[in-house]
A and B are shown apart, each in its own frame.
Chain A
Amino acid sequence: MAKLLRRLSIGPFSLVLDSPGESVSLDWGSILPGWQDVSKAPIEEAIVVRVTGTPGLDCEGSGNPASNLLMTVLGDEVVVRANGIRGHIVLDQGTTSADFELSSPAISLWAALRLSLTCATLRRPLLLLHASGVRLEGRVFIFLGPSGAGKTTVATALKGTGHTFSLDRVLVEQTNTGWIGHGTPLSDPEHLWCAEPAPIAGLFFLEQSDSISLRPLGLLEATRSVMTCLSTYPRHPAFDGHCLALATELCKSVPAFSLAFRRDDQFWPLILRPHGQGNQGGVST
């Protein structure tokens, strides 16, 4: 009988890590700092990740094991193959079950978790973005860009302006009332994330610069930018189509900007100006 470990809510999901093998020693806290049961609301979907083998637990930043990922989608089953990782994910109604074999110390259990989360978003209007977020006046400002772009700097250098929403990954969800963001604990060593969702105020693609400027993005450029910041693995048409359609819908509804900034928080007055909705024809500032 599998031993149930701890569970955590991320957006509408409940992540459950489940170690069936006594020989596998897992330190979940080293993967998701702040790992704890924060689920108080009813859980819409459970993601159960079972792990066999000897996982490496400290591989974040030591390479992307999913960079040569192959996925095969067969109905509601997803087979994942990459160097040292082999996963089998089943999408049942209301539950995503994932079995992984991790044989290489260079493979992170975190990758298995993220893969499972990615697959779970496949059948829902959700995207996992490589982004940070700041919550201000009930809305979340989402900052996107590759590693080193300044996402963490923006999300932590608030100086009384707002509250950290998420440091490195944000789940965005299309709802009947518009797009909302969910903070996540992924890559959040200081446990600063916020579990409460919030409507999205805007998407801000970071560019480092000596000056501060805000340039509205048209729908095409915004959609392309979102696609480059997906923290998913769109290596299969089922993922490609899902992500591209959702990214387009997101950018139709939420204003998007290129934000050139210095590594300080002097840009806030600029982005707090009222903006229009969506990016059809651009938004003036």
Chain B
Amino acid sequence: MTSIQLEVGYVPARGIAFREIEERFVIVHPGENRLLTLNETGSALWRCLDGRPLRAALDAVLKDFDVEAEALHRDVVAFLERMLAEGLIVEADQS
């Protein structure tokens, strides 16, 4: 059962270090000595993680990419579930 909900807004967890470089986001994983580099779609989504409902973030990403909404939704949920589990994002009202 997914913990990601379309009506909920998500934001980067407090204190997470990230930076946009050449239109890709690099994130320093807290507690581990490793870097994550998001792909183009992931970077577009990360840019939209400003507390707006996930549904609105998905709409914004869809405008810029030629992908099917269903496939994007599936990929985004999987992506955000991982981010949530690893403590990189939180629900906006918990930030």
A residues at B contact (CB < 8 Å): 218-220, 223-224, 227-228, 233-238, 240-241, 243-245, 248
Tell me the chain B residues, 20-44 only, with Cβ under 8 Å from chain A.
21-22, 24, 26, 28, 30-31, 33, 35, 37
- CB of B30 within 8 A of CB of A240, answer yes
The docked-state distance in angstroms from the alpha carbon of A245 to that of B16 is 13
Q: Which secondary structure characterizes the binding site on chain A?
A: helix
- CB of B35 within 8 A of CB of A228, answer yes
29 A-B pairs in the complex with CB atoms less than 8 angstroms apart: A218-B22, A219-B21, A220-B22, A220-B26, A223-B19, A223-B21, A224-B26, A224-B35, A224-B37, A227-B28, A233-B33, A234-B17, A234-B28, A235-B30, A235-B33, A237-B15, A237-B16, A237-B17, A237-B28, A237-B30, A240-B28, A240-B30, A241-B17, A241-B28, A243-B28, A244-B17, A244-B18, A244-B28, A248-B19
What residues on A are CB-neighbors of B16 within 8 Å?
237, 240
What residues on A are CB-neighbors of B37 within 8 Å?
220, 224
- CB of A220 within 8 A of CB of B21, answer yes
Chain B proximity of A46: nearest CB distance (Å): 28
- CB of B17 within 8 A of CB of A220, answer no
The docked-state distance in angstroms from the alpha carbon of A237 to that of B21 is 18
The docked-state distance in angstroms from the alpha carbon of A241 to that of B33 is 13
The docked-state distance in angstroms from the alpha carbon of A240 to that of B26 is 11
- CB of B17 within 8 A of CB of A240, answer yes
- In the complex, residue of chain B having the shortest beta-carbon distance to the beta carbon of A222: B21
What residues on B are CB-neighbors of A227 within 8 Å?
26, 28, 35
Chain A proximity of B36: nearest CB distance (Å): 10
- CB of B22 within 8 A of CB of A234, answer no
The docked-state distance in angstroms from the alpha carbon of A227 to that of B32 is 13
What residues on A are CB-neighbors of B17 within 8 Å?
234, 237, 240-241, 243-244
What residues on A are CB-neighbors of B28 within 8 Å?
227, 234, 237, 240-241, 243-244
In order of increasing CB-CB distance, the 3 nearest A-B pairs are A240-B17, A237-B15, A240-B28
- CB of A220 within 8 A of CB of B24, answer yes
- In the complex, residue of chain B having the shortest beta-carbon distance to the beta carbon of A224: B35
What residues on B are CB-neighbors of A240 within 8 Å?
16-17, 28, 30
Chain B proximity of A176: nearest CB distance (Å): 23
Chain B proximity of A109: nearest CB distance (Å): 22
What residues on B are CB-neighbors of A245 within 8 Å?
19
The docked-state distance in angstroms from the alpha carbon of A235 to that of B17 is 11
The docked-state distance in angstroms from the alpha carbon of A237 to that of B32 is 11
- In the complex, residue of chain A having the shortest beta-carbon distance to the beta carbon of B19: A244
Interface centre among A224, A233, A244 (most CB of B within 10 A): A244
